[in-house]
Structures are given as C-alpha cells and as structure tokens.
Amino acid sequence: MISKILLFLLIFLFVYNIKKIFYYIKNYNEIEEAHFKKRTNLDLTKLTKISNGRFFFGLAEYLRVKSEFYYDEKYLYVINTKNQVNKHCISNIIEITKTSIMINDRRVWKIVINKEDDKIIYKLTTNDTLSNNNFNYFLDKVNENDNSIVDSDWLW
C-alpha cells in the first residue's frame, strides 16, 4: 500500500513540475550553447547540422556515439564528445561514400579528408528526414570540388 502511495506521489510531483523540468532543460541547453560559443567562437545557430544528435546527459563519452558534424560555406566542423572542434576545409574532402552499416535504420557514411599528405576518416549517421535534407546539400557542396568522389546514389 505504501509503495502505491509513493508511486502516486512521484507521478503527481512529476506532472505538477513538468513545465519547470522542461524550462530547466531548455535553459541548460542555452547556457551550454553560450559557453560553447564563448570558448570556440562558433555560433551553432549559423551552422548547418548534418549528423544525428548525441545521446543526452553526457553518456555519449561512454557509448559508441562519436561526434557531431556541422558545415557552412567553406568548412566542415567536427565536434567530439568533449566539445573540441576540428575544422576542415570542404575543398579538402576527397571522398564521401555510403558504408554497408546501418544504425537505427540510418545509413553510416564515410568522409575522407586529405590533410597534409595524411587521410582523416570520419563516419557519421545523417539527420536526414522528409523535412530535413541538409546532408543532400552538403553532398552537393562537396561535389563542387572536381577532385572529390561523392556517392551520388543517395537513396532513403
């Protein structure tokens, strides 16, 4: 009987405070973005995201979730789980291809970047949906470079 009362009280408190909880999460995200902008001088609202988001509550460091990918007119930004930013010129991307791996019904893509006679390889899952095709625009942007190989068989 006591456990049912406690469960009811917990549910009641959760429902009663749901607005405060969502406000706290929104406020926390805004503060994190402001700190990130101050530290890296990057405004994420002006960049276009092409990868899936990370797992919440900082658990990405312990899981297989790697990085977030953003781009603008000239650069690809790779932000790892410790919020360190790697900035790569889009003209240095030499290959973007699909892999045979699928995670949560999303294709894993491989990006190969030529940097000072060395190749850097990233893998990502895209955030493309019916209403968001940022990754297609990114593929078009990379395809403007004549030296790049872009897997043009983009199928859902």
- CATH number for the domain harbouring residue 73: 2.30.29.30
CA dihedral 29, 127, 123, 67 (to 10 degrees): 0
Same domain, 51 and 123: yes
| Residue 71 domain-assigned (yes or no) | yes
Same domain, 26 and 87: no
The string of pLDDT tens digits covering residues 62-113 is: 444 568 899 999 999 998 877 788 999 999 999 999 888 887 778 888 999 9
More confident residue, 80 or 131: 80
pLDDT at residue 149, rounded to an integer: 84
pLDDT above 60 for 132: yes
Q: Mind giving me the DSSP string for the chain?
A: -HHHHHHHHHHHHHHHTHHHHHHHHHHHHHHHHHHHHHHH---GGGSEE-BPPPPTTTGGGTSS--EEEEE-SSEEEEEETT--EEEEEGGGEEEEEEEEEEETTEEEEEEEEEETTEEEEEEEEB---SS--HHHHHHHHHHTSTT-EE------
Same domain, 24 and 56: no
The string of pLDDT tens digits covering residues 19-70 is: 888 888 888 878 878 888 888 888 888 888 888 765 544 544 444 456 889 9
Same domain, 19 and 84: no
Residues 120 and 28: their CA atoms lie apart, in Å, by 33
Range of the domain at 49: 44-150
User: What is each CA distance from 35 to 39, 71, 118, in whole angstroms?
Assistant: 6, 20, 32
pLDDT at residue 88, rounded to an integer: 93
CA dihedral 122, 68, 88, 32 (to 10 degrees): -150
